[in-house]
Amino acid sequence: MSLEQQNRRAEGDPLLSVDSVDVTFEVADGTIRALRDVSLDVRSGETVGIAGESGSGKSTLALAIVRYLDANGRVDAGSITFDGTDLLSASRGQLRSIRGNRIAHVAQNPATALNPSMRVGAQVREAIELHQDPESTAAADERVYEVLDQVNLPDPEGIARRYPHELSGGQQQRALLAVGLSCNPDLLILDEPTTGLDVTTQAKFLDLVEDLKAEYDAGILLITHNLGVIAQIADRVNILYAGEMLETGPVEDVFTEPANPYTQALLATTPEIATNKDVKPIPGRIPELDRIPDGCIFADRCAFATEECRSGDVGMAAVAEDRAHESRCLHWEEVVANPVVAGERERVERTRGEAIMTVSDLRKYYDEGTFVQNLLGDHEPVRAVDGVSLTIHESEAVGLVGESGCGKSTLGRTLLKLHAVTDGRIEYDGRDIHDLSKQELNEFHSECQIIFQDPEASLNPSKTVRAIVERPLKLFGDRGPEARDDRVVELLDQVNLGADIVDKRPQELSGGQQQRVGIARAFAADPSLIVLDEPVSSLDVSVQASILNLLEDLCTEYGTSYLLISHDLSVIEALCDRVAVMYLGEIIETGATDRIFDPPYHPYTRALLSSIPSLDPHDDRDRIRLDGDVPDARDPPTGCSFHTRCPQKIGEVCETEDPPLDDVGDGHAVSCHLDEAEMSDPLDADITGS
């Protein structure tokens, strides 16, 4: 670091300064004004959050900072300065010395950001060799292992030899972070770093970010739609909407006394565990950015809007005298005095019908080995699903929760015969699906649909949205072309998408829009049962609320049943009647939702619940951190599968005896050697697995 840079840091100058930036994209239909008059600062040792709905320009801002905008995008106005260097006028050589070295940009999707043809270690080493000029190959390898260990990846040398597809989603995210951290950057830009991560992996990732910030005094720009994550680790927050900054300030001030209607609406529509909060979507949708309305950009969706709001420029107003807290609102004082808050939720009592699907002792193993290998006894299969029994009734939503690698997605796909069954029985409407004829299997697939976790991989890139949503109507219905077109528009409207996207292809949509198209496609055939595999993990809170309300309405009105796979327990609580907790291929706790969320419960369930970030910046409740990752399903532990990480392990019995799934009352079953009193004991948050 130069003396000039040291002086700037000592004087408290921002590490990164974005001042009045405008970004536009030229497209076939005209010009999209993606960002307008956006400003923010990030200082060393500070975490600054950016929040807002999909399409607000969060990722665009990150790409503009590192000058990664597509060829049709440009910064039209403003300045972006990093530690005294004007990034907008920097040469290619200057940018090469800064990107990856002093500024690390960790992209949103590790599955696409990591090179699938290169081993993980080689990708980390590439960044080190490009920017750090290590003394030798051995020195570079040592740094690779060191940084993989820093991001809490087990067996760094083994991980370094693997390809990205051999890692879980959480491990991929940490590997991508390792690439970013390999050169000890001064600024770390994290774009949706926890999307798709289960709550325990998310909690460990956030702890890791905090530790790294303290160790390296780095500035962190955190982009996320998860307001709880911002409340937990950010110092300041910027609320971005449709390309404009609507509120900015310290997290404590903005979250406890929000001074913008949009911020209040985001907080009100974010589900919170054990609050009985009535989450409702924000009315309307983000405006098209090629036709910016006059006045306040949020006026058409705002409960406080007046005619005065719909004309002229609306500037940032000082909420605090030192301008540390600002809001772009003409009526911010009235907004603070009469805040938009969520009401109390009234759960609709659904009448549970007959069993629609019954699963008995289901097993799904991968890589079962050859006859010779099994004869010699030197090969173990991957026990992805290992003896699961489950019943789903008509008009019932069943939640399935657990960490990545526990077998949730495999179970969901096996239930719909997308994977072959190794052993056990699956009955749908009283019939074993293994015995269905080709015609009956076609009817089964029209009745039972699935929404996949990764919309980008599950939508045909060569087809338009119209063709994608229309396909189930052609396969499983008898509507004519005009009626199908009407139904497509109706379905898109139900998932808060406009008819203007019907002729677009998936790559022209945001991740959240792609997911909503997948949801619309699943409902097109009016199914009786839907397996939803993380259907809202990539959606912002407003769209998530509208989807959850839609799912609840359809379940109540049409008797549609769900198996909802999610790592977000607040989503599970909002929708599901019953919950099954899965760990290492087994169901270890199941029962009515209200029983699962009240003591007693399995130590694993308690760890999941304690890891959920809160919207309260002052939240200091105990958190249970679990050591390590889910064990290898090829070589699961003896006895209780959770004993290697359990904070309440009671000795040899847990290591040698597999506890049965016993009913502890009212259909609440727990697989644990602890008695009810022991399971109810408070835990020290510092206790970790043995």
* pLDDT on residue 547: 81
For the segment 155-182, what is each residue's pLDDT rounded down to a tens digit?
A: 899 999 999 988 877 788 889 989 988 8
* pLDDT on residue 28: 83
Q: Is the pLDDT of residue 101 over 50?
A: yes
Of the pLDDT bands very low, low, confident and very high (cuts 50, 70, 90), residue 689 is: very low
Q: Is the pLDDT of residue 56 over 50?
A: yes
Spell out the residues 6+ positions from residue 561 whose beta carbon is closer than 8 angstroms to its own.
356, 357, 392, 393, 394, 395, 396, 397, 398, 528, 529, 530, 555
What share of the chain in percent tops pLDDT 70? 94
355-458+526-598 is a CATH 3.40.50.1820 domain: no
Which residues are 240's β-sheet partners? 245
Helices (H) and strands (E) in the chain, counts: 26, 24
Residue 189 to residue 195: CA distance in whole angstroms: 15
Q: Is the pLDDT of residue 687 over 70?
A: no
For the segment 641-658, what is each residue's pLDDT rounded down to a tens digit?
A: 999 999 899 889 999 999
**Where are the CATH 3.40.50.300 domain residues in the chain?**
3-102+183-337, 355-458+526-598
Q: Is the pLDDT of residue 686 over 60?
A: no
Of the pLDDT bands very low, low, confident and very high (cuts 50, 70, 90), residue 205 is: confident
Average pLDDT estimate for 256-272: 93
Average pLDDT estimate for 29-35: 92
pTM: 0.85
Question: What 3-state class would DSSP assign to 207?
Answer: helix
Residue 73 to residue 27: CA distance in whole angstroms: 9
Residue 48 to residue 43: CA distance in whole angstroms: 9
How far from chain centre, in Å, is Cα 675? 34
Of the pLDDT bands very low, low, confident and very high (cuts 50, 70, 90), residue 683 is: low
For the segment 556-613, what is each residue's pLDDT rounded down to a tens digit?
A: 777 899 999 988 888 898 889 999 999 999 999 999 998 888 776 899 999 998 888 8
Rg (CA), the chain: 26
Least confident window among 238-252, 309-323, 340-354: 340-354
Of the pLDDT bands very low, low, confident and very high (cuts 50, 70, 90), residue 370 is: low
For the segment 498-533, what is each residue's pLDDT rounded down to a tens digit?
A: 888 999 999 888 767 888 899 899 989 889 999 999
Q: Is the pLDDT of residue 251 over 90?
A: yes
* pLDDT on residue 154: 79
* pLDDT on residue 87: 96
What is the distance in angstroms between the CA of the first residue and the CA of the last residue of the chain?
Answer: 43
Of the pLDDT bands very low, low, confident and very high (cuts 50, 70, 90), residue 354 is: very high
* pLDDT on residue 632: 87
**Site of tokens 């390999």:** 182
Q: Is the pLDDT of residue 690 over 70?
A: no
Average pLDDT estimate for 234-239: 97
For domain 3-102+183-337, give the CATH superfamily: P-loop containing nucleotide triphosphate hydrolases (3.40.50.300)
